[in-house]
Structure formats: structure tokens, C-alpha cells
Structure 1
Amino acid sequence: MINLSQRQKQDGRHTPDLWPVWLVAPGALLLVALAAYGLYHGTELLLASESTGKGKKPVSVQDVVKTTVTVLTLIGAVLAALYAYRKQLLDEGTSHRADATQLTERYTKAAEQLGHEQAAVRLAGVYAMARLADDWPEQRQVCVDVLCAYLRMPYETEPSEAAFRHGEREVRLTVIRIIRSHLQDPAEATTWCGRNLDFTGATFDGGDFSGSTFSGAEVLFGDAIFSGRVSFTGSTFSEGQVDFRGSTFSGGQVSFSDSTFSGGHVDFRGSTFSGSQVYFSGSTFSGGQVSFGGSTFSGGQVYFGTSTFSSGRIVFLNSTFSGSRVYFGGSSFSGGQVNLGLSTFSGGEVDFGLSTFSGGQVYFKRLAFSDGELSFRSSTFSGSRVDFGSSSFSGGRIVFLDATLSGGQVSFSGSRVGAAANIDWGPLPPVPANQP
């Protein structure tokens, strides 16, 4: 559990640094006495100087006293205002301390509810912690950390297992809904955009993050397990880092469709795609980097269809494609870089059919292609560079059928094409088989 004593500044300590009364009172009396003495003689001299002259009466002691009293009254009013201000500061300090005590008690109660055996009580704790985060800006990150930590706790999805808890799935889905609702508008006073979110190792058998804004913070999904339907549809990744490294997509569906990647780094390196459908369809990649380096695609499907790549990088370096379908069909590549170099294709399909390459670079350098299909059917190459340099094609099928080459460059420099490789060159000059 999060320890509130770890914070650098103790919240609620708003009492001003005031001098003790036993020191202030004598000092104030002394100052008043000196002021009265000085005012009396100063006023006497001033009035006396004004009265010197022909026809003017000499100043009387009564006039001097009257003027002195008036000035002292004014000084007293100023001192009274200062005292009232001091009292207000003390009252505000007392009020803030009371608020801080109440907030701490609310935190303790909500944390206790989150650990309760009954799902209904845990749900109440989730809502209480979220409301506390809205009311307590100084410790908002702590409250968010607690909710994220709840999702990281061991979670059994099979009802037949001893660790299974009835109602737990609804509690976890509620946590996700609350987090999503706080990531919709970065301008809101209670937004959680820009807050760190740590879901490392969590299990997601469902959840909706759609329309969220991930900007300026670290969002961690490393080593998470996605086995249900999880949506990031329409989300914005503009700054910071979203980390899915080492995650497992073994079933269900995860959607990033219609999202915008305009900066930062979304990292799937070392992930395993063995049975899920993962969608990036219709997304816009205008900056930043999305990395799948070292990932394994042994089943399921990953879709980038109808996406727009105008800048930034998407990287599959050193990945293994043995059974999945990775689909870029109908996408537009006008800038940036897509890199599948050093990858191994022993099955499955990577499809760039009907795509437009008008700029940027697509790298397949040092590819090891022994089975499966790589398709550029009906694509248009008008300005990009597509590079298969130093690759090895010992089997499988590569398709450029009905492609249009009006500019740009497609290079197989240094590649080895085996007799068993089935390559439909379309408009490209064939590279003769140069190995058995």
C-alpha cells in the first residue's frame, strides 16, 4: 500500500511562522511608546513652525495632543488590521489542517475498502479513492497509484480455480472505466492526463480506454496479459512513453484503431502475439515511434489497414513471423520509416496490398524468408524507397502483382533468391534465382 509519509512536504501545514506573544507584546508596547513620544514632539515642532509669523497664534498644548491622538488612532487602526490578518492566517491554518486530517482519514478508509472480501465494498472503495483523487490535488498521483496497484494484484479469471473471487471482474472493469473517464480531456481541473500509470504485469480480460489522451507521462503495460476485449480506439499518443514491452496477446481483441500517434514512444518490443486480434486500422502516425522489435507473431492478426504514415517510425526489427497475419493494406506511406529488417518469416502473411508509397522508407534488409507470404499486390510506388537488401528468400511467396512503379526505388541488392521461392515480380525486374 502507498505510504503517505513518504511525500516530501506534509500537506495541511498551513500555519504561518509567527513570533511568540511574550516577545511581540512588549515589543509592540515599546514601539507604541516611542512612536507616541516622537509624534508628540514632532507634531509640536511642526505646528510651532507653522504658527511663527505675523498675526498667527502660538500653538497650544491641546492642539499638539489632539494631532498626536489622531495620528496614534490611525496607527492603531493599521495595527488592528494587521492583527485581524494574523488571526485570519491562523484560522486558515486550522481549517487546512482539519481538511488534511479529513482527507487522510478518507484515504485510509478507501484503502481498507479496496482490501475487503466483498466485491460490493471493494467497488465502494474504488469510487471513494477516485473521488479523493479529485478532491486532493497534492496527493492525486498517490490515489491514482493505488488504483493502478489494484489492477496489478494477482487475478484469477477461471471460476474453477481456488483463487477466483466472485465480482472481481466487475471491480477491475470499474477501475479501468474511472481511469478512462479521467483521461478524456487534458484541460479539465481533475484530469489524470500527464499522470504516471503503472499496469506492469496486470491481467486484462476486458476494459475500455477508448478516447484517452496519453501525453507527457509514463504509462506502463509491460509484461501485461491481454486475453479479452480491450479498447484504446480513438486515443491520442502525443508525448511521453507508453510501454507494452514483454506483453502477451494470447486471445481476445485489442484495438488501437483510429488513434493518433504524433509523438512519444509506444513500445511493444519483445511482445508475443499468439492468438489475439490487434487493430491499428485507420490510425495516423505523424511522429514518434512505435516499436515491435524482437516480438513473436505466431498466431492471430495485427491490422494497420488504411493507416497513414507521414512521419515517425514503426519498427519490427528482429521479429519472428511464424503464423500471424500482419496487414497494412490500403495504407498511405508519405514519410517516415517502416522497418522489418533482420526479421524471420517462417509462415503467416504480411500484406501491403493496395498501399501507396509516395515517400519515406520501408526496410526489409537482411530478411530471412523461408515460408509464408509477403504481398504488395496492386500497390503504388511513386516516391518511397523499399529495400530488401542482403535478404534471403529460400521459400514462400512474394507478390508484386498489379503493382505500379512510377517513381521511387525497390531494391533487392545483395539478396539471395532460392529456386523454391515463388516471387511474382509484377512491374519489377526479376532477380534470378542464385541459390538452390
Structure 2
Amino acid sequence: MPPEPTPVAPAPSNWLADILPQVTPAQGSILIAAGAVIAAGLAFLVAYLGRKQIDRHWETTNRQQRFTTIAGQLTDPNAAVRIAAIASMEALIDDHLTPKHWYGRRRGRYRSNPQAQAGINVLCAYLRLPTTTHPSGNPTITTETITLIAGRRTGEHKGQEIKQTHTYNPNDHEVRSTILRTITTHLRPNPPGKSWQHLDYDLTGAHLNNADFSNAHFRGQRTLFTQANFTGVTTSFDRAQFTGKTTSFLGAQFTCKRTLFFGAQFTGKNTSFDRAQFTGKYTFFDGAQFTGKISWFRGAQFTGKTNTTSFDRAQFTGKYTFFDGAQFICKTTSFADAQFTGKLASFDRVQFASENTFFDEAKFAGKTTFFDEVQFLFLQLPIANTTFIGAQFTGKNTSFHRAQFTGGETLFSWAKFGGPARVSADFSKPTAWNNVHFDWDHELIRKPECVRPADWPPQVPNSNT
């Protein structure tokens, strides 16, 4: 048999060779042109990306240099240089907040920009520095001599007089006012540049003269006015909104003539006015809304013989409200038509020593309301009346246990006690019960069953028992 032929492998297919014979000269020109365009596009893209990286590096370096220069100018002894630096810092912060530098929205709010936050921190730090203006805020006072007495003053020895002369810089007042105006402008709706509402503000211990934060919106995680000093004629937070996690006025001192929180809204988790001191002539929280989880006024002091302190129509709807240990020693204190609808409202150990204290038409509808060991004092005032006229205590537990009523008159006329089943209002064991009047004083059959003690009026325990 003849040998079988050796199989021959097929020649590899050359698709380009298969196509090219079919390409006309015109089509070839188009392919060459297309290749040239693609190559040029790739070259342009590489150059563009490189240029963009260079620009980004230059922009970052430029802004860092601007930041360093501005921070240095804020320490310049010339006030005009510092004021110009404030304007430059404002522009730099706005540059950091341009759209391409947003980190994007997250659950409906902007995340903080660290570079913009650094600029805010510098401005706040300036306000935290000791002021070189006279403590009264009067820019016309440039020098002051204070006489101190050294040594004990006994018998003929009157001690040694030491005179100290203090020099004040009146221009520092204008620098601080410029910073305040710049910040508040960007905290209000529709600012001229970018909004700064989402940033944090740390004004701990700051010196703020005639601060006007009306209509400001604080939406950052932290807004701190801890131990800040508010001086001048008027401090205003009218209609301000605090929506961040923490808002603190802990230990703040309000020595200005008027302190205004009309219609302010506190919706963050924690709001603290613990140990704050209000010593001006007028303090108004009328219509303020405290809807966050906890509102603290523990140990706060509202003092002054001619003072008026008002929380009229204020709404405390958060879970917990604490006024424990607060002092209201002024001409008028009013919580008229205020609403406490959270789980707990506590006025334990509060001192009310005002000439007139009003809780008229106030509504205590939360689960628990405490006035334990509260004091309604006389303190040598010509009159010292407290009224709960038309007040409503409809929560499960209301307690005036060991309360002290030593003022002129305390009226619970037309007050309502009761609500859901198994409620109680406890006035047991008062430490003083002077001139306290209820609608049922002369007709005990009208006394609600939920009011204790059953034997009315409550008896002051013997101090020896």
C-alpha cells in the first residue's frame, strides 16, 4: 500500500491581511487619520492628568502658604493688618468650601472640611485670647490705675497701698467685632459667600462683646460657648438654631444688659447651661424650643435685684430637662405657658426668691415632674408671690416633697392635677407651708384623690423628729 500523506497544518489566519486587501485607498486614509486622532487624544489625556496633578499640588501648597501667612498676620500689633487678615481668612475658608472640595452629602448633611475647619479654629482661637480692651468693653478707656491694699489692716496699721496701671488697646475691640461679624454672617441663611453652618465652633472662654448671633444656624457636631464671657449691652441668639450633637454654655457668664434667646431652637442631643450666670437686667428665653434628648440648667444663676428672667411659652419636649439647684433671685421670674412634655422635668432644690414668680398656664405633661426640696423664699423683698394659676400637672408623678414655701403668697388657683390612671401629686412633708392656697382649701371634698397627703393641709414635720 502506498504510504498515507503527512497532514499539513493550516496556515495561520492573518485577519489584517484578510481585511487590508479589501480596504480601498480612501478607507486606508480614514484609518490612518483615526489612529492619529486616538494617539493625539491619549497624549492630550496624559498631559492633562499630569497638568491637573501639578495644579492640585500648586493649589494645596499655595493655600498652605496663605494659611500660614494669614495666621501670622493675626498676631501683628497693627490692628489694620489683623483686620485685613480676617478678610483673607474668610476668602480662604470659602475657597476650601467650593463644590469640588465638598466631601459629599451624608445622611442629609455635609461632612466637615478639615482645611476650612482649621480656618474657623484660628478665628475662634483669637476670640479665646485674653482681651486687651477694658473689661467693660468701652473702647475709649486706654489706661486705668487700680489701688490695692497689701498687708493686714489692724488698729493703726492701714496696710500698704500698691498702685497698678493697666494699659488697654482700644483697637482690639474692633478686631474682635470684625471676627464676630464675619462668622455670624456666614452662619445666617443666604450668606454672601459660602455657608459655614456645618462647621464646629469652639469658643470656650471667649470674650464676646455685644455678640449678635440672631438667626444663626449651628449645624456642626459641636458648638461650645463653655465659660464664655458675654459683655456689652446686648447678647442675642434670637431665632438661632442649634442642631449639632452638643451645644454647651456650661459656666458661661452673661453680664450684658440684655440676653436674648427669643425663639431659639435647641434640637441637638445635649444642650447645657449648667452653672451659667445671668446677671444682666433682662434674660429672655421666650418661645425657645428644647427638643433634644437632654437640656441642662443645673446650678444656673439668674440674679439681680432689677432682673427679669422669662421662659414664657418655652417648650421643653426633649426626654430630660434639669434645673436642679438653679437660683432665680431677681425681680420677676416667669415660666408662664411653658410646656414640659418630656419624660422628666426636674426642679429639685431650685431657689425662687423673686418678687414675682409665675408658672401660670404652664403644662407639666411628662411622666415625672420633680419640685423636691424646692424653695420659694422671701429674702427681705417687699413682696414675694408665686403663682401656678391655671397650671396643669397631668403626668404620672408630680412631687413637691419637702418643698419650702416661705414667700408672700403661693397660689395654685384653677390648677389641674390628674390625667391617666394611677397618677399622684405629692406635697408631703413640706419644710415650710406659709400662705399656700388651693381651690379646695375651704371645701376639701373638691380635692383630687391623686393629691397627697390625704390629710390636708400638709403638716410641717417637727424638727426634733
Scaled by the length of structure 2, the TM-score of the pair is: 0.72
Letter in 1 for 2:437: D
- Match in the other structure for 1:431: 457
Deviation at 1:47, TM superposition (A): 4.6
Deviation at 1:323, TM superposition (A): 4.9
Q: 1:24-423 residue pairs with structure 2 within 5 A?
A: 41-44=14-17, 46-47=18-19, 74-137=34-97, 139-158=115-134, 159=141, 160-161=143-144, 162-185=166-189, 190-228=194-232, 229-275=234-280, 277-299=282-304, 300-323=307-330, 325-335=332-342, 337-341=344-348, 343-345=349-351, 347-348=353-354, 351-357=357-363, 359-360=365-366, 361-368=368-375, 371=378, 373=384, 375-381=386-392, 383-384=394-395, 387-393=398-404, 395-397=406-408, 399-405=410-416, 407-408=418-419, 411-418=425-432, 421-423=434-436
Q: Which runs of 5+ in 1 are unaligned?
A: 1-38, 49-58
- Match in the other structure for 2:161: none
Q: Percent identity?
A: 23
Q: 1:121 & 1:353 partners in 2: Cα distance?
A: 53
Q: 2:272 & 2:180 partners in 1: Cα distance?
A: 21
| Structure 1 residues 406 and 132: alpha-carbon distance in aligned structure 2, compared to 1, 3 A threshold | same
Q: 1:10-29 residue pairs with structure 2 within 5 A?
A: none
Q: 2:424 & 2:262 partners in 1: Cα distance?
A: 29
- Does the CA contact (< 8 Å) of 1:285 and 1:312 recur in 2? no
Structure 1 vs Structure 2 CA RMSD: 3.4
Q: Which runs of 5+ in 2 are unaligned?
A: 1-11, 98-112, 135-140, 145-165, 442-446, 448-455
CA-to-aligned-CA distance 1:303-324 (integer Å, 9 cap, x gap): 2112234444431123344557
- Match in the other structure for 1:3: none
Q: 2:39 & 2:355 partners in 1: Cα distance?
A: 84
Q: 2:459 & 2:418 partners in 1: Cα distance?
A: 25
- Does the CA contact (< 8 Å) of 1:400 and 1:427 recur in 2? no
Letter in 2 for 1:390: H
CA-to-aligned-CA distance 1:84-127 (integer Å, 9 cap, x gap): 10101122222233333332333233223322222222211111
| Structure 1 residues 143 and 187: alpha-carbon distance in aligned structure 2, compared to 1, 3 A threshold | same
SS in 1 for 2:268: strand
CA-to-aligned-CA distance 1:332-390 (integer Å, 9 cap, x gap): 4455543211x242733673333242622532124355546572342232634672343
| Structure 1 residues 401 and 288: alpha-carbon distance in aligned structure 2, compared to 1, 3 A threshold | same
- Does the CA contact (< 8 Å) of 1:43 and 1:68 recur in 2? no
Moved more, 293-302 or 79-88: 293-302
- Does the CA contact (< 8 Å) of 1:297 and 1:324 recur in 2? no
Deviation at 1:398, TM superposition (A): 5.5
